[in-house]
Amino acid sequence: MAASSRPALVLASASPRRIALLRQIGVEPDAICPANLDETPHKGELPRPYALRLARTKATHHAHQYGKPALIIGADTVVAAGRRILPKAEDEETARRCLTLLSGRRHKVFTAIVCQPTPEWPEGHYCERVVESSVTFNRLTPQQIEALIHRGDWQGKAGGYALQGQAAAFIRQVGGSPSGVIGLPLFEMVQLLRGQPLPAGQKWVD
């Protein structure tokens, strides 16, 4: 790598939400590489270590495949009701079950972020964070749940809802990182990027 050039910044996710969040703080990934991996929780696996395991796996997978100096960002968001990991809603029935479970209660959202340098950029620092937030839903009537299902914001979302979608009208309180609930905790992300040893005059974020 030339002394004046910086390594690429690679997002190991095709999530439109994570891409939009990075752009919100002026960060444009040089590459977007989806990580199509088995996301089945291990037997007895708890939400926090599950989120971190998936983020690590995504980052490691691309770090060993990219083949150029780069920093790989792996991230994963997990919605948890107690010790129970809620699935990503891929159909209406799953979304309905999740919303019914979350109705009138407080739950936790864990978002893990992992920054892993590729072997071609040995100067980079490996680092990781898990950010815990809480979300409290108002009690939902069956009619309100059906309206949310009809809206379609649940598709592909952990826990069957999106904080930035229509469900926000029923969320009484968010504690912690709102951007973490959406998919990428921006404060922590910026701190990890600023801690990387980039060449003089180069930066990913102001």
Tokens of 89: 């809603």
- Residue from 12, 52, 5 nearest 29 by CA: 12
Cα–Cα distance for residue pair 115/194, rounded to 1 Å: 12
Cα→Cα distances 173→30, 63, 108, Å:
35, 37, 12
Give the integer Cα–Cα distance in Å for 162 and 175: 15
Q: At 145, which amino acid appears? A: I
76 tagged catalytic = yes
> What does the alpha-carbon distance between residue 40 and residue 191 come to, in Å, rounded to a whole number?
30
Of 30, 38, 76, 206, which is the active-site residue? 76
The 8-class DSSP code of residue 166 comes to G
Cα separation, 35 vs 25, in Å, equals 23
Q: Which H or E run includes 70? A: strand 70-81
The dihedral formed by the CA atoms of 6, 57, 34 and 135, expressed in degrees to the nearest 10: -100
Residue positions annotated with a catalytic role = 76
